Chains A and B, each alone.
Chain A
Amino acid sequence: MKYMLSFVNLADEISAFEQATEQIRSEGLGRVVHWGEKYANKVLASEPLASPASAKVVRFSERFGDPASAIVIDGPFIESKEIFQGFCLLDAADEAEAIAIAKEWPGSRIVEIRATVPMLTRGAANPARAVADLATGMILASVEVATDADRAFRSLASPEITSWWLRAGVFDTREWSGDVRAGGRWHASGVGRGKPYELEGEFLEVDAPKKLAHTWQAAGAPGGQTVVTYLLEPTTNGTRITLRHDGFNSRETCEVTAIGWETSFQHLAELLAQEAVPA
């Protein structure tokens, strides 16, 4: 899991530190260097920012960034006594580890820990699509991925699911485990809109690398069982994955789950496309 740690300091503390004795400053910097060395294998990138006084802001008057509506103004986007001083991108096993590492950060008064999701930047080339048939409670979704069926199949039933069952700002799968054979169980947990959720089910059919089917329901809610079926077919550019998800009783759940499959399939396509790029 990747987390962004945002380092935030109080304006008066920053000026106090700048005016502190040489000894206090060098001790302070030494602690930051020590933290960086201790977690060198977890910190993927570390980006200290210049002071907010040097910030510019591009503001759009039209929703969703019409370049013609952009104006440039001075200063940070928000004036505050709390100064956003920099951030690092952390690769941690889970949120508990990210928080434990943040608790040792010596360089600012406040650290915000937030999970990140890769930017979706290849959607234009090969969009995933999902449609919900609300009348029958069924979703159909489809995406083409740039890899062979064996590789694609592995991503559908493994902890790799935590890298693609995602929708930025909406839900985030944090853990997945499963016994991938007909009759085996799977379990996933994550965070949706700030609240934890758990999903589980049973594998109905495991025919690698052509077909995978499993039940899908909220953990401990036996009434709401639905069925997910993936079909994989080789194409000239890779593999076409087609998903059918049936059995929704609630139109609303069916509709939002369809959008979730669409964004998830986009993440899956990007994940596998990145891998396919020769190093």
Chain B
Amino acid sequence: MRYALLFVSREDDADAFENLTQDGRAEMYGRIGEWAKKHESKLSIGEQLQAPETATTVHFPGRFRRDQPPVVSDGPFIEGKEIIGGYWVIDVADLDEALEMAKEWPASTMVEIRPILERAG
């Protein structure tokens, strides 16, 4: 089963991460490194996302059809205190294994675990 682990942080946690001391940062990257090493065989792609204020959003006005031009705006699609900061795609036996990995993730306020839809064929 493949799952997406979406790393979500409250703004204040994200700020605290940025304001860590040098030793605090080194420790955090060390823990992330250990996590990645431990679970290496289950990790597919993973990226950190740049800050939400760097996002651009495209809105399509019409339902289903694309007969009206899209509208482009600055900022993320949802303004919230909780932001997606990154993700990993993992390949594990089952949900329990995905949850165990998520519980060990050292660097965000929460982790959302969602199955990936596999295309038929």
Contact residues of A with B, CB < 8 Å?
2, 4, 6, 8, 13, 16-17, 20, 24, 28, 31, 44-45, 47-50, 52, 54-60, 63-65, 67, 70, 72, 76-78, 80, 82, 86-87, 89, 95, 99, 102-103, 105-106, 108-125, 127, 129-131, 168-170, 172, 191, 193-194, 259, 262, 266
Count B interface residues, CB 8 Å: 74
The 7 closest A-B pairs by CB, nearest first: A194-B53, A123-B29, A124-B33, A121-B36, A116-B47, A124-B30, A50-B115
Given contacts A64-B17, A77-B82, A266-B29, contact A48 B116 (CB under 8 A): yes
Main secondary structure of the interface of A (DSSP, over half): mixed
List 13 contacting pairs A-B, 8 Å CB cutoff, sorted by A. Answer: A4-B47, A47-B2, A48-B119, A49-B114, A57-B110, A58-B99, A72-B103, A76-B114, A78-B80, A113-B57, A117-B48, A121-B32, A194-B51
How many angstroms between the C-alpha atoms of A121 and B46 in the bound complex? 10
A257 to B100, CA, bound (A): 37
**Given contact pairs A47-B116, A65-B106, a sample of 20 additional A-B residue pairs in the complex whose CB atoms are under 8 Å apart:** A20-B64, A50-B114, A50-B115, A56-B113, A58-B103, A67-B104, A72-B103, A77-B112, A87-B87, A108-B60, A109-B63, A112-B57, A112-B76, A119-B88, A120-B29, A124-B31, A127-B29, A169-B17, A191-B50, A193-B51
B48, chain A: closest CB distance, angstroms: 4
Majority-rule SS of B interface residues: mixed
Q: Assess the A45–B48 pair: CB atoms within 8 A.
A: no
Shortest CB distance B106–A (Å) = 4
Contact in complex: A89, B45 (CB < 8 Å): yes
A113 to B37, CA, bound (A): 29
CB of A170 within 8 A of CB of B18, answer yes
Structural contact, B58 and A124, CB atoms closer than 8 A: no
Q: Which residues of A contact B85 (CB under 8 A)?
A: 168-169
Report B's interface with A, CB cutoff 8 A: 2, 4, 6, 8, 13-14, 16-18, 22, 25-26, 28-34, 36-37, 44-60, 63-64, 66, 70, 72, 74, 76-78, 80, 82, 84-89, 95, 99, 102-117, 119
A63 in contact with B29 given A168-B50, A172-B50 (CB within 8 Å): no
Q: Min CB distance, A36 to chain B, in Å?
A: 10
- The answer to whether B95 touches A102 (Cβ under 8 A) is no
User: Quick one: closest A residue to B112, CB to CB?
Assistant: A77
Residues of B within 8 A of A131 (CB): 22
Report the Cα distance A218→B107, complex, angstroms: 32
Known contacts: A45-B45, A54-B115, A58-B110. The answer to whether A113 contacts B56 by CB under 8 A is: yes
Judging by beta carbons under 8 Å apart, are A169 and B115 in contact? no
- With the chains together, A6 CA to B87 CA distance in Å? 12
Residues in B neighbouring A58, C-beta threshold 8 A: 99, 102-103, 105, 110-111, 113
